[in-house]
Chain A
Amino acid sequence: MALMSTPALRISQLSFRYPGQDPLLDRFGLIVPAGSRFGLFGPNGAGKTTLMHLMTGLLTATSGSIELFGKVMHPGNRSVNSLFGFVPQDFAFYEDLTPVENLEFFGAWSGLGRSAIGERTNELLTILGLADVRDRKVGQFSGGMKRRVNLAIGVIHRPRLLFLDEPTVGVDVQTRAAIINYLKQLNQQGTTLIYTSHQLSEAEDLCDRVALIDQGQIVAHDTLDQLLATHRMDGLEGLFLRLTGKAYRDL
């Protein structure tokens, strides 16, 4: 019960700067309740990817803290990493291996035993429609199939928190719908989702809470319904443009 009341993610006074650059994040704070489907949005260069890398331990903050389910993340403490899964935007697997072989390897590195890996592999390949191609090299797959393999590896150890960095980029409508449906199922089973994407219509479908960030600061943060009502907007895209402007950001 205590775990339920503990947020999935608590970021406090987080500052970060790349060497030789101005601070990208300055005393940043964010709380993501457990069990939520949290969307993190912002224009290019707003600091989303940096924040995602800090939350997953790929980068180390200059100061401040990140807690996952009450446990402080620390570069020397990898045990916290078993609490979350990560589905990066890039394909994060070995193209010369089959989906089964990839899941066997990443399952072991996620802390699963042999039998658990076997059961979970069969389950995921069936759910994500990859059972028929289980023995083919992933390098021969279509973009949509690779996205599903990428997702399967991220969730093989049934993480309590799942970070998703544009998990549907470059896929067709059918694959996108299948992935979003699966993510909703995971959430119903108790997995907290922290999701970032430029597909705002997809985000409206998936997310129940939203944060808009720009220039390293949160410019809006609430449930999706409350945010739209507060700003009297009928869609996330209009709200996004109102709060972050229409100028190019990646020049």
Chain B
Amino acid sequence: MFKLKATILKDVRVLMRDRIGLIFMFGMPILLVLIVTSIQNSTFELVNKNKVTLLVCNRDSGVLAVQFLQAVDKIGFFQLVPVAGSITDDSVRDRIRHKDALLGLVIPADFSARIVARARTVTGKVQVSFGLDSTVAGSAGSGSRSGLGTAGDAGGSVGSVGRVVSADSLPVKIFYHPVLQTSFRKSAEGALYSALQLVESKQILRTLYYSLNEKELPDSLEHELLSNRTPLIELPVSRDGNRDTPNATQHNIPAWTIFAMFFVVISLGSGIVREKRNGSFIRLKTLPTSYAVAIFSKQITYLVVTLIQAGVIFAIGAWLFPVIGLPVLNFPSDWPALLLVTFLSGWCAVSYAICIGVFARTEEQANGFGAVSIVILAAVGGLMVPSFAMPGSFHLAMKISPLHWSLEAYYGLFLEGGRLKDVLANILSLFLIIAALQGLSFWGLKRKNLI
């Protein structure tokens, strides 16, 4: 026991004097968790709280275009920036290229007329299917009404230029900057479509009502028909019934804590190689003590390091994040489960680092392979891209990654509000990986005649 204590003391002293190693183990993960969470939170707020600037070039003088823009504005997703309807598509492109806005909307000159024409066509078809005279629908569009009058106005304006308007699909153009991610672009597109659909539906309803009743649709009825939509409520599926939507902190703190733990490979793996290659190792091999004591000491020392890492990062999430405007970290209710998952994650990280240290022949091998392999295991383990978004071919690799099981266990506790029994399968997988890594290290040490 005294030998073990002396060895732990030695390891702690060597570790405390390795400033670069300490920066790798504590400074970098803290910086990483701060930066990544801030960025993700800002993206989250961009989508959920801030409005996206939308350049609007309205070339249509009809009321339906105005109604469409009012509907777009009402969604609350966009900050509308109107530009002159006379500017060309190239000018809109230039402004987006210069990032005046990331999205641009060009409403064509015959926008209102096309919607009216489309409404008439649809109404006509409905009347025919009802066995009614479809000519009434045509007259509905030409009717004018001071209050509502959008369709009539629109139709009038089209009529005034004497053109025959086609009811083909609407050529509304959406320009976007290539930096805009697909998922974000699709969200914006969906919002614009819903606004467009609202305007179209209103117009069809008005035209149909007029064709049937030969009078205009009352405002109250229109409101009742169009605004009384079935509500959509988001409910996160949690085990503890918590309805809080998980935020960037809940996602990032567990993920980067695991990443930090596994990054002890830089200090521990290369430390073992350094010890093997320098003279002190020759002396250790001649002394009446097994090298297993040294390995055991390193396991204890670095396991404590990983627990401190987790403690520091969790504390940052709980106390520093709210101070700097980031969402606070909400801890799981099952503290023993959290401690067990943290302990096993740390032990797995240490086992991995020791395995690298036992088999690597040079510090460069340990550092290079160690660091790159952790990034790869993190990527396939779902730390960088959610595991559900992984291609099917990656699922096996994902199951081999210890970081995946750690993350799943943490997510079970932090995001799903689970308890120990809910993450037992992840814990068992983690334990099996630890056993495999320890067995491999033991075999390597035996083969090299070190224990």
Evaluate contact between A109 and B284: CB separation under 8 angstroms: yes
Chain B, interface size category, equals: 20 to 34
CB of A106 within 8 A of CB of B283, answer: yes
Question: Smallest Cβ distance from B218 to chain A, in angstroms?
Answer: 87
Verify A94–B14 contact, CB threshold 8 A: yes
With A94-B14, A96-B14, A101-B13 in contact, is A108–B2 under 8 Å at CB? yes
In the bound complex, do residue A78 and residue B279 qualify as a contact, i.e. CB atoms below 8 Å apart?
no
Which of B7, B17, B18, B288 is in CB contact (< 8 Å) with A105?
Answer: B7
Please tell me if the beta carbons of A105 and B279 are within 8 angstroms of each other in the complex.
Answer: no
Q: Does A82 touch B at the CB level, under 8 Å?
A: yes
Q: How far is the CA of A101 from the CA of B17 in the complex (A)?
A: 13
CB of B13 within 8 A of CB of A96, answer: yes
Which of B14, B288, B290 has the largest number of chain A CB atoms within 10 A?
B288
Q: Are B282 and A114 in contact (CB under 8 A)?
A: no
A residues within 8 A CB of B14?
94, 96-97
In contact, A93 and B279 (Cβ under 8 angstroms):
yes
Contact check, B10 vs A88: say whether CB atoms are below 8 A apart: no
- The chain B residue with its CB closest to the CB of A104 is B6
Are A114 and B290 in contact, with the CB atoms below 8 A? no
Contact of B6 among A78, A79, A91, A108 (CB under 8 A): A108
| Residues of A with C-beta under 8 A to B2 | 108, 113-114
Interface centre among A84, A104, A109, A114 (most CB of B within 10 A): A109
For B281, give the chain A residue with the smallest CB separation. Answer: A92
The answer, among B5, B288, B449, for a CB contact under 8 Å with A81, is: B288
List B189-215 residues whose CB lies under 8 Å from chain A: none
In the bound complex, residues from chain B placing their C-beta under 8 Å from that of A86 are 282-283, 286
With the chains together, A88 CA to B279 CA distance in Å? 8
Contacts of A90 in B (CB 8 A): 278-279, 282
Q: Are A88 and B282 in contact (CB under 8 A)?
A: yes
Q: Is A75 in the interface zone, CB < 8 Å from B?
A: yes
Q: Are B10 and A101 in contact (CB under 8 A)?
A: yes
Question: In this assembly, does A121 line the interface, its C-beta being within 8 Å of a C-beta of chain B?
Answer: no
Q: Is B3 an interface residue (CB 8 A)?
A: yes
B280→A93 contact, CB < 8 A = yes
Interface string of A123-158 (1 = CB under 8 A from B): 000000000000001000000000000000110000
B287, CB-defined interface residue at 8 Å: yes
Of all chain B residues, the one with the shortest Cβ separation from A55 is B286
Whether A78 and B289, one on each chain, are in contact in the complex, defined by CB atoms closer than 8 angstroms, is yes
Inter-chain CA distance A90–B278, complex, in Å, is 8
Of the candidates B7, B10, B282, the one whose C-beta lies within 8 Å of that of A58 is B282
**Interface membership of A35, Cβ < 8 A:** no
> Distance in Å from the Cβ of A33 to the closest Cβ of chain B?
22
Assess whether B9 is in contact with A78, with CB atoms less than 8 Å apart: no
Knowing A60-B449, A94-B10, A105-B7 are in contact, say whether A110-B287 is a contact too (CB < 8 A).
yes
Does residue A57 face the partner (Cβ distance < 8 Å to B)? yes
Asked if residues A75 and B449 are in contact (CB atoms below 8 Å), the reply is yes
B285 within 8 A of A: yes
Tell me if B18 and A96 are in contact (CB < 8 A).
yes
Is there contact, CB below 8 Å, between B280 and A92?
yes
Q: Chain B residues near A105 (CB, 8 Å)?
A: 6-7, 9-10
Q: What is the minimal beta-carbon distance from A248 to any residue of chain B, in angstroms? A: 27
Name the residue on A nearest B289 (C-beta).
Answer: A109
Shortest Cβ distance from residue B276 to the other chain A in the assembled complex, whole angstroms: 13
**Does the CB pair B287–A92 fall under 8 Å?**
no
Residues of B contacting A106 in the complex (Cβ-Cβ under 8 angstroms):
283, 287
A111 beta carbon closer than 8 Å to chain B: yes
What's the Cα separation between A93 and B287 when bound, in Å?
A: 13
Across the interface, name the chain B residue whose C-beta is closest to A80: B288
Q: Is the beta-carbon distance between B6 and A96 smaller than 8 angstroms? A: no
Q: Which residues of A contact B3 (CB under 8 A)?
A: 108-109
A-B contacts, 15 of them at CB < 8 A, read A57-B286, A79-B288, A81-B286, A86-B286, A90-B282, A92-B279, A94-B14, A96-B14, A97-B14, A101-B13, A106-B287, A108-B2, A109-B6, A109-B289, A111-B289
Q: Which residues on A are within 8 Å of B, measured CB to CB?
A: 56-58, 60, 75, 78-82, 84, 86, 88, 90-94, 96-97, 101, 104-111, 113-114, 137, 153-154
B interface residues with partner A (beta carbon < 8 Å): 2-3, 5-7, 9-10, 13-14, 17-18, 278-280, 282-290, 293, 449
Closest CB pairs A-B (n = 9) = A108-B6, A92-B279, A90-B279, A92-B283, A81-B288, A82-B288, A105-B10, A109-B289, A96-B17
